[in-house]
Amino acid sequence: MMILVTGGAGYIGSHACLELLRAGYEVVVVDNFSNSKEESLRRVQELAGKQLDFYKMDLLDRDVLNTVFDRYPIHTVMHFAGLKAVGESVTIPLRYYHNNITGTLMLCKAMQMHHVKNIIFSSSATVYGDPDSVPIKEDARLAPMNPYGRSKVMIEEILRDLYRADNAWNVVLLRYFNPVGADKSGRIGEDPNGIPNNLMPYITQVAVGKLPQLNVFGNDYPTPDGTGVRDYIHVVDLVIGHVKAIDRIRENPGVVTYNLGTGRGYSVLEMIKALEAASGRKIPYQIVGRRPGDSALCYADPTLAQQELGWSTQRGLSEMCADAWRWQVHNPHGYEET
């Protein structure tokens, strides 16, 4: 079975490609390498001992996109491609809306034209905004607080409308919490451009000496140690959830939505201590003011995914940190050192 992976060279996409190849699927990747490296796909193939096909292209390029659909018997699309930095989305909202939403529209048009009506969409817990209560269930109020999160909600609605218009579509909406870690080989991992936006790569880059210290945004939240609490999920557990979603697609479910998280939260200070234990290094940090829009607590209720996908997380915090550190220490400059 052929799976098209958009954004397949990125952090989550590359891990998904590896697990898909390991599970026996054929994979074709499209990626414009705006926030990823082609080297990740070379390493994926090396680790899997199998080949995939890939095209350097933008989803906004209709002609090349149609060529891919013409050339391959695609069964399901895993849609990871998109701009993803929350802070940047506030600064350049039009770019985020154009790239994320228009790119998805172009993808769906190509799918429709080629009678490919199965899609697994990379959504996000940012759709919930500052939650009314935790753990968060899939039917919680959607109240994103930034253009990135709003683009995810809009795409979810577009995909629901596609199904309403044509119930031959099957749509799996996967709302991620906070992916961390890396494949145990240490050969692929998170390689952000510039200063990391996410906590774990920031901590590991401080530990490896690439950055001087970590800023902790606020220590006066109503949490056990005053710092924000988030649901961190190992990226391998996350992408195994995508592989399980293909089985769900085969059941012709229509539109289904699942949280992918562990069901518990860790504070920023807990994450620092866990990475110190994994690395054997002290992580210097300073407390600074809160960031606008950050919530105190955010973690998933993953019960529905457990029940309907037969999926649950298998990797705990110590393994998340050990795997993230292994990737960082063996690749201090990411994929630049090949």
Task: Note the pLDDT of residue 338.
Answer: 45
**What number of residues does the chain have?**
338
Residue 189 contacts residue 234 (beta carbons within 8 Å): no
Task: Note the pLDDT of residue 173.
Answer: 98
Task: Note the pLDDT of residue 38.
Answer: 96
Task: Note the pLDDT of residue 258.
Answer: 98
- Band of residue 53 on the pLDDT scale cut at 50, 70, 90: very high
Gap between the Cα atoms of 259 and 175, Å rounded:
5
**pLDDT tens string 179-229:** 999 999 999 999 988 888 889 999 999 999 999 999 999 999 999 999 999
**2-180+232-261: CATH number:** 3.40.50.720
Position with higher pLDDT, 87 vs 302? 302
Task: Note the pLDDT of residue 337.
Answer: 58
What is the model's pTM?
Answer: 0.97
Catalytic residue status for 148: yes
**pLDDT tens string 64-80:** 999 999 999 999 999 99
**36 closest CA partner among 11, 61, 60:** 11
Annotated catalytic residue, options 148, 221, 258, 299? 148
**pLDDT tens string 285-321:** 999 999 887 889 999 999 999 999 999 999 999 999 9
